[in-house]
Amino acid sequence: MHQSPAPQRPVVLGSTSRYRRELLSRLNLPFEVASPDVDETPAPGEAPRDLALRLALAKARAVAKLHPEAVVIGSDQVADLSGQPLGKPGTHERAVQQLRQMRGQTVIFQTAVATVCQASGFEQVDIAPVEVRFRDLSDEEIERYLRAEQPYDCAGSAKSEGLGIALLDAIHSDDPTALIGLPLIRTCRMLRAAGVVLP
């Protein structure tokens, strides 16, 4: 008598980001969404890459405590301008300031993803750095873009999947969805390693 396959563990996205939810839904995999209660304040002198990795894992672990049987995905993105972390601006004024700092510069968007399953003891974290070169933007271009897009919930104020693409000279990445907020190639790799069967 052959054994029937073990039932698939539920998948939970530990994020309230609509961008991450849209990206994960591309995999045609049923999943729930849970809000991770994690303090996102950088530690003094913490590098943007380390911050993104730490927060992705902290989010996945926080949600895994509440859903111990599930495979939980946590993710975080920090814009890295010469070693300085740029978070979500939150306001128009801060977005203007961020884009003025970034014009003519290369910014690394450090996008980390972690997968945790408490029941099986599975835990992996990885990072997909995306190198983004900004055009030398005028103040008028910055103002027009912000009024049109209002990207105040996006790290570094740059929403590449929308009008933000017009601010850029180049994007270099080995995981094309990383800039939007969830590196799906790495996410798929981790889900398979955690025993999730992808459609």
Strand, helix or coil at 43? coil
Catalytic residue list contains 126 = no
Enumerate long-range contacts of 33-38, CB under 8 Å, 24 or more apart: 34/63, 34/66, 34/67, 34/72, 36/60, 36/62, 36/63, 36/74, 37/62, 38/62
CA–CA separation, 199 vs 197, rounded Å? 7
Residue type, 17: S
Catalytic residue among 37, 39, 76, 169: 76
Rounded (5°) CA angle 89-52-183: 95
Active-site residue list: 76
